[in-house]
Chains A and B, each alone.
Chain A
Amino acid sequence: MSVSLQSEAIDVAAEYAQLVGDSPGAAVATFTGYVRDHSDAHAVTELELEHYPEMARNVLEELGQSAAERFGLSSWRIVHRFGRLAVSETIVWVGAVADHRGEAISACELMMDTLKTDAPFWKREQGPTGEQWVASRDSDTERRARWQSRETQ
């Protein structure tokens, strides 16, 4: 039931063991995000992640708590990197433990869809033609909106 903002690599095996050890449950779902070697338009050789530390922590803690309430999680964890990242390194890891698979999977999806648009991180890609800030995607905003429309049903 916690958040980590870190510059160092994410130890996925250790995170998983900790998540399950904290609260053994029938259903465990996790998601791991890695640095891609390309964007829509060009190759990517390195990624820099700027963040707003105090706000990022608050947003992610509230997100984890709201996912726990909505899906009845017995445990959750959100880990997000900042700083310079090489291609294929982990950027983000989320995990959720619940009684049933639907709740655990949905909780991971909610946490990922929401953190992409609501948590204050900004990606800057390094490629063959230099550096550029990554623009927000309408598809991310649409995925985020799906959860809001379900909340009001």
Chain B
Amino acid sequence: MSITIKLFSALREALGESEFQLDLSDISEASAPVDVAAIKKRLSQRGAEWKEALNQPNLVHALNHKVVFIDAVVSEGDELAFFPPMTGG
């Protein structure tokens, strides 16, 4: 399984990436569904800066353009975005 990861605002700047494909074929072959928490855990393995950025308390996650809780299940082709609290208007 592969999904698209998007990062915005201060998170994008801190991690130096805005969009990439994440291959999850190894963990998606297990019987348990893959949720946002599992994706965060996987990305946190990329290094200390990823672990810190993705575990900040106010981090927002949006799955296919909807804000979701950390137990939301991801599927093939989904788009998962991480970003700080929004400050529009």
Contact = CB atoms under 8 A, between A and B. Distances in A.
B81 A121 contact: no
A117 to B, nearest CB: 6
A136 B87 contact: yes
Nearest to A137: B87
B81 A117 contact: no
Contacts of B85: 117, 135-136
A50 B81 CA distance: 14
Interface in A101-153: 112, 115-124, 133-136
Interface residues of A, number: 28
B83 interface: yes
Nearest to A52: B8
Given A55-B62, A133-B10, A136-B58, A122 B89 contact: no
B6 interface: yes
Given A50-B8, A55-B62, A116 B83 contact: no
Contacts, number: 72
B46 interface: no
B65 A55 contact: yes
A115 B88 contact: yes
Contacts of B66: 55, 58
A137 to B, nearest CB: 8
A27 B2 CA distance: 50
Contacts of A92: 88-89
A54 B65 contact: yes
Given A117-B86, A118-B86, 6 more contacts: A52-B81, A80-B89, A91-B89, A92-B88, A92-B89, A115-B88
Interface of A: 33, 49-52, 54-56, 58-59, 80, 91-92, 112, 115-124, 133-136
Q: Which 7 A-B pairs have the closest CB atoms?
A: A121-B88, A136-B85, A116-B89, A122-B9, A55-B65, A134-B87, A133-B10
